[in-house]
Structure 1
Amino acid sequence: MPESVPVRCPSCRRERRYTAPAYACACGAAVVPPLDPAAVPTAVTHRVWDEQWVSLRCMACGRAGQWPQPELGCPCGTLVRIPVARDGTGPWDEVVAAARLLHRLGHRDVRRAGRRPPGGVALMATGLLAHVTAGGRPAALRDVEILWLAAMARSARCVHFSGAGYTADARARADGLAVPLFALTAATPPRPLNDAAHAFLGPAADWD
């Protein structure tokens, strides 16, 4: 299930938890608006058509579409608009490429996690946590360790994607922790970089 975030009403200051709904893409996969827990919710004072929709891309097929803006009705009578996370760290297509690979490997519930790792985007599915490091810098030792620790806390497997490669100590640490590492570009499928990544792919390594 999608993670929930705490939402404080800007009018009465009462806090409630909100879970974004899942919408069905034409391909059959679920599209879930990625909530931004760091942004401040706002009260809806009047309706503007363009503000009632957000542009989201399906993690499974890459199709872009318009979906309802997340909103929550407070008991005080205020309608609260909940901010949706934006990338701002690198090509969104790279995140979609990572999500499509995970979907192809059988993780049908891939979605953006509510909390973002430093300098990247977090994806999650049942029993799996993935980080995509963007922004044009190589993934560092700390990126690998943060992912591994976060996955251990969830009793989940983990996998890392990077659009700008990895530092030498990051690759060494990943090998020691058996964290799969993938090189990522928007134009080509993710490429496995270590033994753990080849094992993660399994029979998919031979797919066209």
Structure 2
Amino acid sequence: MAESVPVHCPACRREHTYSPLTFPCTCGAPLTVPVRKGARPEELRHHTWQESWVVVRCPSCAREGEWPQPELGCPCGTLLRLPVPRPPREAASGPEHAAAGRSKGRGARPAPPGASAAPARTQAPSSAVLRPAFRPVTIRTSRDAITAAAQYLKWLGFQDVLAVDGRPASGVDLRGRGVVAQVDPSTRPSTLRAVECLWLNSLSASAQPVFFSLAGYAHDARGRGDDLRVPLFVMDLTGTPQPVNDAADDLIRMGA
């Protein structure tokens, strides 16, 4: 298991502990995306797909592949990008071998973890509900983000969770028995209006609202989510939602 590292949020000055994620390399060996100790995290205001991947060399086969950039959602609503060490320079005696390794590994982004994959970091329910480890869906497109959120809602215990066709004006992307959810895959923090609209839709449907965002939440959106008891989650590119308010923590603990 990779060693956890301390992370200091520059926005609210809270201290967190981050456990680096592990994925299966194409050679079959577990590969951990490292985090540079002591480095200042970057406050992520504009989330772009191109900048969300980092090059990491597999210690077993020496291939260089692109893997999700380590990110951490702070409860204050700030999304943090964690710096990783640069791959070591190639040995002068073997540049041809190193180049071959890069050509095989470059662009080989991880597939969704399967039965043979090394387990990714997940949120363990604190007490009330015991459930198996959540198996995330790697996010490469906005559709993947909706799929990952649907899987998470099912993991929480909601049934008959289905994606809404197209992009409805209501902003609701997922509906299930007793739940409505919105998934914001944009590169800007989710807005107060979006949180309020989801809450209003949940009232009309007599359902639990749940919000998922890839870029975090604006300060007023986070505050309104707290006031309305709307569970707010942020997702990184591994497809693992992280709670950012008490309502989200309670939903994880108690389930559907």
- TM-score norm. by structure 1 comes to 0.51
The structure with the larger Rg is 2
- Asked if 2 retains the 8 angstrom alpha-carbon contact of 1:178 and 1:196, the reply is yes
Aligned to 2:151: 100
Q: Deviations over 1:75-134 (max 9, x none)?
A: xxxxxxxxxxxxxxx532221211111111122311012463569661010110000012
Alpha-carbon deviation of 1:154? Answer: 0.7
Alignment of 1:145-184 (within 5 A): 145-184=196-235
Q: Which amino acid aligns with 2:178?
A: G
Alignment match, 1:91: 142
Residues 146 and 163 in structure 2, CA contact (< 8 A), matched pair in contact too? no
Among residues 121, 134, 158, which one is paired with 2:185 in the alignment? 134
User: What is the Cα-based RMSD across aligned positions, in Å?
Assistant: 2.6
Higher relative contact order (CA 8 A, sep 6+): 2
Matching of residue 195 in structure 1 with residue 246 in structure 2: yes
Which residue does 1:13 correspond to in 2? none
Q: Which moved more, 1:118-127 or 1:134-143?
A: 118-127
Shift of 1:175: 0.3
Rounded Cα–Cα distance in structure 2 between residues aligned with 1:157 and 1:108: 12
Aligned to 2:194: 143
After TM superposition, give the deviation of residue 62 of structure 1 in Å.
9.6
Q: How many pairs align?
A: 118
Residue 195 of structure 1, CA deviation: 0.1
Task: Report the Cα distance in structure 1 between the residues aligned to 2:113 and 2:172, rounded to whole angstroms.
Answer: 16
How many Å apart are 1:179 and its aligned residue?
Answer: 0.3
Q: Give 5+ residue unaligned stretches, structure 1.
A: 1-60, 64-89
Instruction: Give 1:125's aligned residue.
Output: 176
Amino acid at match of 2:224: R
Indicate conservation of the 8 Å contact 1:119/1:133, yes or no: no
For 2:173, give the aligned amino acid. Answer: A
CA–CA separation in structure 2 for the residues paired with 1:129 and 1:116: 14
Residues of 1 paired with 2:185 and 2:167: CA distance?
Answer: 12
The CA distance in 2 between the partners of 1:105 and 1:185, in whole Å, is 18
Normalised by the length of structure 2, the TM-score is 0.42
Q: Cα offset for 1:193?
A: 0.3
Gaps of 5+ in 2: 1-111, 115-140
Change (3 A) 1:93 1:121: farther
1:158 is paired with a residue whose SS is strand
Contact 2:171 2:194 in 1 (8 A): no
**Does the 8 A contact of 2:146 with 2:173 survive in 1?**
no
Q: Distance in 2 between matches of 1:201 and 1:167?
A: 23
1:189 Cα deviation from its structure 2 partner: 1.0
